[in-house]
Amino acid sequence: MEHVLMPIAIIGSFGTSIYFFTKVLTDYILKKKMIDKGYVNEESQSIFKAHTAENKFSSLKWGLIALFGGIALIAMDYLEVSPDSTLPYGMFAVALSAGFLIYYFLVKREIK
């Protein structure tokens, strides 16, 4: 099974990377040409800049995710479970979800 899934995963991830790289590049070229030719006035240029708005809580989000993921990995090291058990996957998913929820409530409270 490993011999079948590994090439599929490699080719799939490579193809996905090429797709997203091409999409970003062509979107950039299209927007640049539209602005240069004058199809976009000053008011509508804000549409193009809306996607690049910086999130000041991005570091908090990734810090909490890494923290809770690390805590889950440490906790899994101390548990005695069978190799076929799905408990470690569930613990890791719950820990990451808890990190996201804490981030959500902190940002929600900060915005208010």
- 36 with 79, same domain? no
Return all residues near 3 (Cβ < 8 A) that are at least 6 apart: none
Tell me which residue range forms the domain holding 111. 54-112
Query: Model-level pTM?
Result: 0.54
Number of domains comprising the chain? 2
- 47 with 70, same domain? no
- 10 with 20, same domain? yes
Contact yes or no for 34/27 (Cβ under 8 A): no
Contact yes or no for 75/45 (Cβ under 8 A): no
Q: What is the token pair recorded at 33?
A: 């040409």
| Biggest CA-to-CA distance, the chain | 66
Mean pLDDT, consecutive 10-residue stretches, the chain (112 aa), reads 87 95 91 80 66 69 93 90 87 94 91 80
